[in-house]
């Protein structure tokens, strides 16, 4: 039993360090030692109906196990349950805790754990992003787009959540201070305003310090927050803020990035997208749209439907994965912007198929945007009057087409070693240019789906739920970034495929 005890200790250490995949592999190895017994025990754990479980309980194998063996096997199943929850694989976690309960049917803690996981499944929450972590929303958008109006609306809405705001803009005094009306859901001490620089692009350390202070203030008083909202400056790149939730140990352990929301001014966004920048500089408006999980197309009352169609089309050329909602005065349902779990593996699974299909539907699978100033087949004419300033009739400038999305879909599996090389190549050579990436891959020899998402060079990928018996094993990915070479990306990925 010494080896078994060592396996448990090592797996627990992996769980503590959040090395969930490594921990699962350790437990798998320990369970394989009991392969003959486990075949029958696991069939009970994986049973779905009461009748099936009762049939397994009548199996003579279980009574043959001594108490020590039962306890050890149950401990392994519970440990793997916790590791699977860390990976977000709730369905598999339910199966393992069910197997543990067959070995220890009177264990109340196990029964409660199973009930809790089933509750998470019903609500759609990722276990790796459980209630212990505070969901955080990043709100970005140009000055005057309506970010602060949105914050005031959120704080005044009847959603019953206790929220805190980290708000910052340029200037010695918070320029939105007179507009930001703190309500009962956000106390004065929890509204942290940092005036010594732009936390989004120059002094990320201040953001970390602010988040730590906020966490200490709220949890120390036994009043944990339901959510945090970070309002960025209008000229900010949201990437450094987003990366904080993956790179900083304290932040990633106590908070989770729920989503990036970009507020767009319908009247002025086209001009902002067309603004010429110095050589090598990136258009901030384009960047903010590229990073978004949700987009508020605000101030729609100031333009007509034809302009709105044009604006939405321009947005889709940059980011075809973000959900768009048309608003006036930033009025929007809270469900659209809070609790969206955009960075959960479950959400990636839900989004990726639609994203690849939409990308193909927009014709991106047939031509790239790299280096193009205009596109044949796209009409720029419309019936606006002389007051229409959103469109430049003389030049018909388009947004910076260095920024685009590339979707890849293959009905084949990839080889693990070559996939590792592909990811390494992406991070090392394309990382700074890749704003957002996400995908679901079928890896040869791996029964589970490999799901990943990334912000620049901050890559997160894990095994997820198993492929269904009748489900086609395939690979789907979407990349959003600048200077993306569609042909090169496709060629490099095709080298990973099983021949």
Residue 425 sits in a domain of what CATH number? 3.30.1220.10
Q: Which residue has the tokens 């050329």?
A: 317
Whether 291 has a pLDDT exceeding 70, the answer reads yes
One domain, residues 152 and 286: yes
pLDDT for the residue numbered 359: 55
Pair of tokens at residue 406 = 């590339």
More confident residue, 443 or 57: 443
Closest CA to 293 of 247, 263, 262: 262
- Exposed/middle/buried for residue 118 (C-beta within 10 Å: 0-12, 13-18, 19+): middle
Indicate if 199 and 237 belong to the same structural domain: yes
End-to-end Cα separation, the chain, in angstroms = 43
Averaged pLDDT of the chain? 72
Q: 122 and 137, same structural domain? A: no
Asked whether residue 85 falls in the same domain as residue 148, the answer is no
Percent of the chain with pLDDT strictly greater than 70: 66
Report how many domains make up the chain.
3
Say if residues 162 and 171 touch (Cβ distance below 8 Å).
no
Distance CA 221, CA 433 (A): 42
What pLDDT, on the 0 to 100 scale, is given for residue 71? 86
Claim to verify: residue 13 and residue 56 sit in the same structural domain: yes
The per-residue pLDDT for 119 is 72
For 119, 121, 291, 410, the CA distances from 359, given in Å and listed in that order, are 35, 30, 16, 14
Tell me whether residue 349 is in a domain: no
Containing domain of residue 432, as a range?
356-374+385-494
Mapped onto helix, strand or coil, the DSSP state of residue 407 is strand
The reply to whether 499 falls in a domain is: no
Select, from the ranges 1-15, 191-205, 209-223, 462-476, the one with the highest average predicted confidence (pLDDT).
462-476
Which of residues 128, 162, 179 is at a domain's end? 128
Does one domain contain both 396 and 328? Answer: no
Which comes out higher in pLDDT, residue 58 or 239?
Answer: 239
The span from the CA of 231 to the CA of 262, in Å, is 10
Structure tokens at 382: 């419309």
What is residue 432's predicted lDDT score, i.e. its pLDDT? 77
- 391 vs 203: CA distance, rounded Å: 36
d(CA 95, CA 336): 32
CB 449 within 8 A of CB 467: yes
The DSSP bridge pattern shows strands 294-298 and 255-265 to be parallel
Q: What are the Cα distances from residue 426, in Å, to 423, 432, 440, 441, 499?
A: 5, 10, 16, 15, 22
Mark whether 99 and 168 lie in a shared domain. no
Residue 350 lies in a domain: no
Q: Distance between CA atoms of 205 and 486, rounded to whole angstroms? A: 36
Residue 216 lies in a domain: yes
Opening angle at CA 187, ends 182 and 189, nearest 5? 115
Q: Is residue 284 part of a domain?
A: yes
Are 447 and 336 within one domain? no
Average pLDDT value for residue range 332-347: 79
Number of H helices, E strands in the chain: 19, 12
Q: For residue 239, which of 281, 288, 166 has the smallest C-alpha distance?
A: 288
Point out the domain boundary residue: 89, 113, 128.
128
Residue 378, number of CB atoms within 10 A of its CB? 11
- Residue with the larger pLDDT of the pair 412 and 198: 412
* Torsion, CA 130, CA 134, CA 140, CA 146, rounded to 10: 110
Q: What mean pLDDT comes out for the span 235-264?
A: 83
Say if 255 falls within a structural domain: yes
- Residue 322: name the closest of 352, 355, 293 by CA: 293
Which domain-ending residue is among 99, 128, 157? 128
Higher pLDDT, 166 or 11: 11
Q: Strand 323-326 and strand 294-298: pairing?
A: parallel
52 and 70 co-located in one domain: yes
Give domain status of residue 224, yes or no: yes
pLDDT for 221: 62
Vertex 133 angle, CA 128 and 159, to 5° = 115
Verify that 146 and 281 share a domain, yes or no.
yes
pLDDT at 298 over 90: yes
Residue 55 confidence class, pLDDT cut points 50, 70, 90? very low
Distance between CA atoms of residues 444 and 217, nearest Å: 48
What is the rounded average pLDDT of the residues 224-228? 80
Best CA proximity match to 475, nearest among 485, 488, 490: 490
**Same structural domain for residues 311 and 422?**
no
**What six digits make up the tokens of 75?**
């401990």
Per-residue pLDDT band at 365 (split at 50, 70, 90): very low
Crossing angle between the packed helical segments 204-219 and 239-247, to the nearest 10 degrees? 60
Domain presence at residue 461: yes
Query: In this structure, are 245 and 175 located in the same domain?
Result: yes
DSSP letter (8 states) at residue 472: P
- Residue 219 in this model has a pLDDT that exceeds 80: no
Distance, C-alpha 95 to centroid of its chain: 25
What is the band of 345 on the pLDDT scale with cuts at 50, 70, 90?
low
């Amino acid at each position: 039993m010494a080896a078994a005890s060592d396996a448990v200790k090592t797996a627990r250490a992996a769980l503590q360090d959040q090395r969930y995949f490594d921990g699962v592999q350790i437990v798998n190895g320990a369970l394989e030692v009991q392969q003959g017994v486990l075949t029958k025990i696991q069939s009970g754990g994986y049973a779905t109906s009461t009748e099936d479980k009762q049939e397994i309980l009548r199996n003579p194998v279980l009574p043959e196990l001594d108490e020590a063996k039962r306890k050890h096997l149950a401990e392994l199943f519970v440990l793997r349950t916790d590791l699977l929850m860390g990976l977000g694989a709730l369905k598999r976690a339910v199966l393992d805790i069910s197997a543990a309960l067959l070995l220890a049917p009177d264990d109340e803690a196990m029964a409660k754990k199973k009930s809790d996981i089933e509750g998470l499944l019903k609500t759609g929450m990722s276990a790796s992003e459980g209630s212990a972590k505070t969901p955080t929303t990043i709100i970005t958008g140009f000055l005057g787009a309506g970010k602060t109006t949105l914050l005031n609306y959120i704080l005044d809405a009847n959603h019953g959540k206790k929220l805190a705001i980290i708000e910052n803009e340029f200037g010695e005094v918070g320029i939105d201070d007179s507009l930001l009306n703190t309500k009962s859901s956000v106390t004065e001490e929890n509204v942290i305003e940092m005036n010594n620089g732009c936390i989004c692009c120059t002094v990320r350390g201040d953001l970390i310090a602010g988040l730590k202070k906020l966490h200490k203030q709220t949890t120390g008083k036994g009043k944990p927050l339901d959510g945090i909202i970070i309002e960025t400056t209008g000229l900010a790149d949201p990437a450094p803020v987003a990366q904080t939730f993956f790179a900083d140990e304290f932040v990633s352990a106590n908070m989770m990035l729920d989503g990036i929301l970009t507020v767009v001014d319908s009247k002025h966004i086209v001009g902002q997208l067309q603004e010429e920048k110095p050589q090598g500089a990136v258009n901030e408006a384009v960047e903010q749209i590229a990073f978004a999980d949700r987009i508020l197309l605000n101030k729609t009352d100031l333009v007509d439907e034809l302009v709105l169609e044009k604006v939405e089309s321009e947005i889709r050329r940059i980011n075809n994965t973000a959900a768009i909602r048309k608003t006036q005065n930033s009025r929007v349902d809270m469900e659209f912007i809070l609790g969206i779990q955009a960075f959960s593996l479950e959400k990636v699974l839900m989004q990726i198929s639609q994203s690849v299909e939409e990308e193909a539907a927009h014709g991106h699978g047939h031509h790239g945007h790299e280096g193009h100033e205009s596109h044949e087949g796209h009409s720029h004419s419309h019936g606006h009057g002389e007051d229409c300033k959103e469109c430049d009739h003389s030049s018909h400038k388009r947004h910076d087409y260095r920024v685009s999305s590339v979707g890849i879909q293959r009905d084949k599996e990839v080889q693990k070693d070559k996939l590792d090389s592909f990811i390494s190549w992406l991070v090392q050579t394309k990382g700074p240019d890749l704003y957002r990436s996400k995908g679901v891959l079928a890896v040869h020899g791996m029964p589970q789906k490999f799901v990943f998402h990334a912000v620049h060079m901050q890559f997160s990928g894990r095994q997820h739920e198993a492929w269904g018996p009748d489900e086609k094993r395939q690979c789907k990915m979407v990349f959003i970034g600048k200077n993306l070479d569609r042909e090169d990306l496709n060629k490099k990925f095709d080298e990973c495929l099983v021949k």
